[in-house]
Structure formats: structure tokens, C-alpha cells
Amino acid sequence: MSNPTVSTLPRERRRRRPVRRLFEWLLVLFTLAVLVAAVAVVVILSGERDFAERIYPHISVRGVSVGGMTPDAARREIERHYGSFLSRPVSMSYADLTWQPSAEEIGVRLDVDGAVAQALAIGRTDTRADNLRTTAAVWDQGVDLPLHLIIDQAMMQRYLLGIATAVEVPPTNADVALVGADVQVRPEMWGVQVLVDATMTEVTAMAQGLEQQVVPLRTRTLAPRVRDFDVAPFAERLRTLLAGSIHLDSPQSRCAPGCRWEWPVGQIAGWISLRHTTQADGQPGVVVSIDPAAIRSALLPVAAALREEGTLPRVAWNDVTANDGAALRILTPGGAGRGLDAGQALAQINAALAGGPRTIHLPLVALPPPVNETNLASLGITAQIGLGISSFAKSEQYRITNIQAGARQMNGVLIPPGGSFSFNDNLGAVTAENGFVEGYAIIQNRTQKEWGGGLCQVSTTVFRAAFWAGLPITERHEHSFRIGWYEELGEPPGLDAAIFTGVQDMRFTNDTGGWLLVQSGVDLQHQQLAIAIYGSPTGRSVSMDYTIRERTPAPTKPVYVNDPTQPAGSMRKSDTARGGLSVDVYRTIHVRGKILSHSTFLTTFKPWPDIFVRGTKGSTAPPGG
């Protein structure tokens, strides 16, 4: 019998040999794998050592390859690549202006450091296995990292605000002004405003491409609040107001055709004012005004030239106790005057300024007498303030007649405040119509017949009234020769006043501040003339003194005067010789115990010869003595 164990062993051995071989092969493969891994580890360790401070290959930043570069080299490469962009990222333009700022000026910069740091971190941030896988993937496929743009908006805004000063123009309102007589219109001007935010948005968007771009400066126009059509009506009104000079005349006036006036454009312009206001809707406006006070002021000299004053009435002083308290009454009413009709004149002037005719015929209206029953009591004449008296005793009838006629001319004369009294003006014409007759008067140093002989008696008495009233005497002439009539009441020599119509006058001024009244009276019984001056009490008191400086003896040789109207051979003594005299009369005026004024009236009387008048009628003898 065979042995079964022996027969089966080879068969088992035969079954185990393939398994061994498989194991052997697996062992070989494992060994090879270990060797490959060891080699890979060696390679990786060698690579890690070589790229310890470098960026792994196949890495780029925004298209700029930085693989294998150190961070500094990568940074330089990126900055070099985008250098042109950083030096001039955008060009901004407006009209013919251009700005080319650097990236730094407008607050634009690239995050190069961040991109380089990100590139360097690839394959270094996870586990070694993950890093190996990442590195392998990058090696195989590569990676392009983004490059971020950082914008400092505050800096960009400051830059844009800076260039806005060269562009922005505020709107200019239309306006109208008056320079002298020139109407100047300022036209409207539209403004320009830089839209900073809109420009920033566009610059920011275009800079994202990291390429140089041209960006138009965004602006908008600003409309003025006051437009040309707003001021046009005011400018037109000004031109109408200043269309030309205004000419004025008054054909009906006493001074026509000489009364003509011209208001030139420059004068009219001075009456105009322009005032800027805010209207109800909030819009600015212009108000053109004419100063009515200026027009009235310009009319004042015109009105003064055209004014024809009425005449003052003749007024009588009454005994107030006998006339119901009325101190004054009108003897002869004053005459009416004429003056400018201011209301109509202003209406015509305003019409001319509004575009009407610029030649104006000024209208006149009647004016009441300056003093009448309505204002007589307001004159304030309540008391006698001065009295002059003189004697005309033993005067011939012609002289008395002329004294009475002259006194009538002085009676009832009113003198306004500040007015001047003129004896000759109030005397009027020395004619028979006014009651005067011929008489003897001192003419050319001798007594001869003349109309109004004896009137110096009246002027002397008026002088004395003004003297004692303390009124300023502005004109007074002494007689050439000493006359006895003027000393009959005990007056000193030199208290006289000679007049000669048209040559010598007697004047005084009313400085009392109120009205004065001159009243005359002729006392035929006592042969005296009285002149009184009435007014408001002045508080003045007058004292008089005099000094005789020199006496001159009378001439001894007579003077003969031929008179062809008297029969030949007749002889008449007309003047008796008397001596000459120089005398100073002093007047002192006191008010409440204080001296108001002190004045001296100088008088020099010439010596007076005997004068004989001889008749030469029908004689052939030559004239002369």
C-alpha cells in the first residue's frame, strides 16, 4: 500500500509557490514604492529648501508672473508692470483744461504687498500633505491671483475740490446800476459747478481696469436767480427817466421870457435811487425811486424867481382900549401877488419823467397879500418901541404942506422881520399927484426952490424914531449946514438926517425878530411932527450923549445968486450967515442892564454965508455974483 501523506505533500507545495511569488512581488513593489517615496520626500524636502523664501512656480498676480521670485522681486516686478498706471492712472479734462494726477495725488494705490503675501502663502498654509497637493495642482495648472485697488476717497475728494477752483464759476445775477447818469446793465451769467461725487464714482470705476483712462470732469450749470428779462423793465424805466434834460419856463410870469431853467440829465440822475429788495416770491428785485423832496428842492429857486410878492397894506395903530382890544387895523389893503402852482408843476414834471414832453410851461396862481385881515393879529405888534419928534414952528405953508404929504407916505408902513426900511422907497414920487408942492430946499450948498422942500423934516423925524428904538441905522447923511428947526425942542445939533431922492437915503434895519409898524402924526396946533415905531417889546433902553469937537465962525462975505425969474434990480436975502460946527452924537443901547451896542454919529456943518438973490429978468448982465 502506498503512503497518502507522501503523495499529497508535493501537491500542497505546488499550491503554495504562487502565493509566495505574489508575496515576493508585492514585497518588491512595496520596496520600490518606499524607494520612490523616499526619493519624493528627498525631492520635496529639497524643493522646500529651494523655495523656502520664494513663491512657488506657475503663480502670477493679475497676469504678472511671480513664480520662483522672492517677495521683494515679485513686488518690484508688479510695480514695474503697473508703473505707467501708477504714474498717471487717469487724465481728467474740462473744456481746454487737462489734469494728469498721479495715483498718489488722487489717493489710488495697488495692494501689492497683499498680493505678494498671498502668492507666497500658496502651498504653505495647510498640512504637508495638503500643501503637497496644492503645490502639485499649481504646478500642473498654475494660478493667477487678483491685485486689489485701494482708493482713499477723502484724498480723491480733496484733489477734485482743488481743481474745482479752476473750473467753478458762481452764477452772476443780472443787475442794473446807475453810475452818474449812465444806466449800466450787468447781463446774467450762468455758473459752473463740479460734480465731485459723480466724478469720483467714474474715476473709481475706470481705475479698476488698472489702465490709463481719460475721464471728463463732471459738471453742471447753475442758473442765476435774476435773469436778464427780470431787470429789463427797470433799465428801461431808468432810460426813460434820463431821456434828456427838462426845460422849464413861464410865459405868463413877470420875468418872461428871461425866466428859463434847465435841469440836465446829471441833475435828474441825482434824484434817482435804486434799492435791491426781495420780492414776495423770494426772488431778488429792484425798486427805482424818485426823491420828491429833491424835485421840490430844485423847484425852490424857480419858485423864488417866479414869486411876485403882493404889496403890504397900510396899517393904523389903534387905541386898544377904544377899539375892542384890536391894536391894528388895515387902512389900505395890500395887493395880491402871484406864485408858482407847485401842485400842477410837480404833476407836469412827473409826467415828463414818465416819458412825456420834457419842456414844461410852469403855471402861476394868485397869492394873497402877505399881510391881510386873517394874519394881521399874528404880527405881534403890541407896543410903541421908538418915538421921534421934531418942530416945524414958523415954517412957511409950502413946507408944512410937504411935511404933511411926506408924513402920509410914512404912515402905516410895515417892516417885516429882518427887513430894511428905506425912506426914499416909501416916500415914492415927489409930485403934485402925491400932494407935494414946490418949496425951498438946500441944493448945491444954497437954498433954492425944489419939489418937496421940507421933506428933510420928515426924514430927520424918522431917523430919531429909529434912533430911540435902538434899531441899526444903515444909512444916514447929515445936512451940509446947521438948521435951527432941528434943535427947537432942545435936541443937540447932529440929530438930523438929510435926504435927496435917488442920491441920499435914510435907512435902518428891523433886527427885532418881529414885525414893525411906522406911524406918523402931524400936530398943526403945536407945529410938531411925530413918527412912532411899534412892535413887540424889545427890552432895549437907549441913552444919548454928544460932544462938540470944533466950531467955525460964519463967513463975512455974502454970496449973490442971479435969478432970471425975478425982475432986474430986485434983491432978496435968502439965507443968513451962521457958523460951522463939528459934533459927535453917541448912542448906547442897553438890554437888561448890559450894553448891546455903542455907536457914534459924526456930523460936520459947514459955515453958512449970507446969500442974496438978485433979479436979472430982462437984463443982459452975465450970470454970477
The cell numbers describing 528, all together, are 410938531
* Model confidence at 445: pLDDT above 50: no
Residue 227 · residue 188 · CB < 8 Å: yes
Residues 6 or more apart whose Cβ sits within 8 Å of residue 33: none
The CA distance from 298 to 267, in Å, is 9
Q: Which of the two residues, 285 and 387, has the higher pLDDT score?
A: 387
Per-residue pLDDT of 295-309, as tens digits, reads 999 999 999 999 998
Single-letter residue type at 35:
L
319: pLDDT confidence band, cut at 50, 70 and 90? low
At residue 22, does pLDDT exceed 70? yes
Torsion 297-298-300-301 (CA) sign: positive
**In 3D, which of 60, 104, 55, 64 has the Cα closest to residue 82?**
64
**Average pLDDT over every residue of 292-321:** 88
Phi/psi for 528 (5° steps) reads: -135, 150
On the question of pLDDT at 573 being above 80, the answer is yes
- Report how far residue 235's alpha carbon sits from residue 241's, in angstroms, rounded to the nearest whole number: 10
- 485 or 94, higher pLDDT: 94
Task: Judge residue 462's burial from the number of C-beta atoms within 10 Å of its C-beta, 0-12 exposed, 13-18 middle, 19 or more buried.
Answer: buried
- Tell me: the pLDDT tens digits for 167-182? 999 999 999 999 999 9
Whole-number Å distance between alpha carbons of 198 and 206:
13
Measuring CA to CA, how many Å separate 465 from each of 471, 473, 506, 533?
Answer: 9, 11, 12, 7
> How far, in Å, CA of 214 to CA of 3, rounded?
106
Q: In this predicted structure, what is the pLDDT of residue 5?
A: 44
pLDDT at 112 (0 to 100):
93
Gap between the Cα atoms of 454 and 392, Å rounded: 9
Average pLDDT (507-524) is 97
Is 83:75 a contact under the CB 8 Å cutoff?
Answer: no
Average pLDDT over residues 360-368: 93
Check if the beta carbon of residue 415 is closer than 8 Å to that of residue 421.
Answer: yes
According to the model, what pLDDT value does residue 376 have?
Answer: 93
Distance of alpha carbon 362 from alpha carbon 249, whole angstroms:
6
The pLDDT value given to residue 123: 86
Residue whose entry in the numeric block shows the C-alpha cell 502639485: 136
Q: Which residue has the cell 391894536?
A: 327
Angle at the Cα of 284 from the Cα atoms of 281 and 288, rounded to 5 degrees: 115
More confident residue, 39 or 253: 253
Contacts of 515 (CB under 8 A, 6+ apart): 379, 380, 381, 414, 415, 416, 417, 535, 536
556 vs 165, 268, 446, 514, CA distance in Å?
Answer: 113, 77, 16, 53
pLDDT score, position 444: 55
Query: What would the grid cell of residue 127 be?
Result: 498640512
* pLDDT band per the 50, 70, 90 thresholds, residue 412: very high
**pLDDT tens-digit series, residues 584-618:** 999 999 998 899 999 999 999 999 888 888 888 87
**3-state DSSP of 249-277:** ECCCCCCCCCCEEEECHHHHHCCEEEEEE
Residues 102-112, mean pLDDT to the nearest whole number: 92
Amino acid (1-letter code) at residue 585: V
The pLDDT score that the predictor gives to residue 324 is 45
Average pLDDT value for residue range 79-96: 92
**Average per-residue pLDDT in the chain?**
88
Helix, coil or strand: residue 472: coil
Q: Would you tell me how many other CB atoms lie within 10 Å of the CB of residue 495? A: 22
Task: Tell me the mean pLDDT in the region 108-126.
Answer: 91
The three-state secondary structure class of 198 is helix
Residue 504: DSSP 8-state: B
Q: Determine phi and psi for 114, rounding to 5 degrees.
A: -65, -40
Burial class of 258 by CB neighbour count within 10 A (0 to 12, 13 to 18, 19+): exposed
pLDDT at 616: 86
| Residues facing 584 on adjacent strands | 547, 602
Task: For residue range 8-17, list pLDDT tens digits in order.
Answer: 456 555 556 6
